[in-house]
Amino acid sequence: MLIGLTYDLRQDYLSEGYSEEETAEFDRPDTIEAIENALRELGHETDRIGRVTSLVERLSRGDRWDLVYNIAEGFRGIGREAQVPALLDAYDIPYTYSDPLVCALSLHKGMTKRIVRDLGLPTPGFAEVSCPADIEKVELRYPLFAKPIAEGTSKGITGRSKIENPSQLRDVCRHLLHEFKQPVLVEEFLPGREFTVGIVGTGDDAEVVAVMEVALLSTAEQGVYTYLNKEQCEERVKYTLARGAIADEAAALALGVWRGLNCRDGGRVDVRADAQGRLSFIEVNPLPGIHPEHSDLPIMATLVGWTYRQLIDRIVSSAIKRVRPGVRGLARS
């Protein structure tokens, strides 16, 4: 099977003058090499496409693929993660991971929480701040937590993100509105343990890879999984498999979110406990980082004894199972 690879390389954007933080979600060359090597070991041919503009050029030349392994994050707009899936849908080319609706929805953390809440699943009380006037309308219990509404990789999250009073709320929200040019999500802060749940598969076939606890070391910025903590996770964060009742509860909540939102093939759901130890949904990542040593989903797979190739195979197999009926070319696999 011929599998195209769509992605955003961090170095490409850095060379164009963008900052380290602006490019934090983008991939390193060794991530692309790892995916490509795994796919080739599984017997597939690969073709590197690159970012969305490269995909447009290739499509206009008439290039086609049996499947696209898509990890392109996009750069601009609330629907940036949906751009590549939407183009591929238009050309009837199957791809890994979630569809444009899920990719656009999940990037907007406020809209995602509304759906999760309507599903009857727990998530902290929240408000959206779209302009300075909205700050005075926030009626939530302190402490609070504030972050950009449509970023990943903990962008915009610092030690100041935990907020104790209205004065701090005004300062932090004004800073984030100015810095990121997008609304701010304000949530009631959960002080308990934090977990991320790795999932592969789609619908009833979705299963939990592992539940991993995220614990901050003494070298980390405390209390919050900040951008800096995530960027320097090897020195600042300890990742361990969770077991027992808390892991079962996290897995059940994560699967409820995953299936309720119609996420596909592979990703992560983040949950955190309140002061009484009750878990709530925080975020879903249906387009997960996939670096074999630095990204959470491969870390979890490794902790439970999967090879990187096995993880990639499970993701690709899920995509093939979804699209095989009526799709030409996949039979060559």
The domains of the chain, with CATH numbers, are: 2-97 (3.40.50.20), 125-188 (3.30.1490.20), 194-320 (3.30.470.20)
Interval 174-179 mean pLDDT? 96
> Is the pLDDT assigned to residue 105 strictly greater than 60?
yes
Distances in Å between the Cα of 238 and the Cα atoms of 110, 235, 268, 269, 318 are 29, 8, 18, 18, 30
Which helix or strand (DSSP H or E) is residue 254 part of? helix 245-261
CA pair distance 66, 329, nearest whole angstrom = 6
244-284: pLDDT as tens digits = 999 999 999 999 999 999 999 999 999 999 999 999 999 99
Return mean pLDDT, the chain.
93
Interval 171-199 mean pLDDT? 96
Per-residue confidence (pLDDT) for residue 327, from 0 to 100: 44
Where is pLDDT greater, at 220 or 116? 116
Token digits of residue 183: 């609304």
> Is the pLDDT assigned to residue 80 strictly greater than 70?
yes
306-331: pLDDT as tens digits = 999 999 999 999 999 998 754 444 43
Token digits of residue 254: 């994560």
Q: Which long-range contacts (CB under 8 A, 24 or more apart) does 81-90 make?
A: 81/106, 81/107, 81/287, 82/107, 83/52, 84/6, 84/52, 84/55, 87/52, 87/55, 87/56, 87/59, 88/55
Per-residue confidence (pLDDT) for residue 325, from 0 to 100: 52
Interval 182-190 mean pLDDT? 96
233-243: pLDDT as tens digits = 778 888 899 99
> Is the pLDDT assigned to residue 133 strictly greater than 80?
yes
> Is the pLDDT assigned to residue 134 strictly greater than 80?
yes
Per-residue confidence (pLDDT) for residue 159, from 0 to 100: 85
168 falls in which pLDDT band (50, 70, 90)?
A: very high
Prediction pTM value? 0.91
Q: Quick one: DSSP state of residue 17?
A: T
> Is the pLDDT assigned to residue 124 strictly greater than 70?
yes
Per-residue confidence (pLDDT) for residue 221, from 0 to 100: 75
Per-residue confidence (pLDDT) for residue 85, from 0 to 100: 98
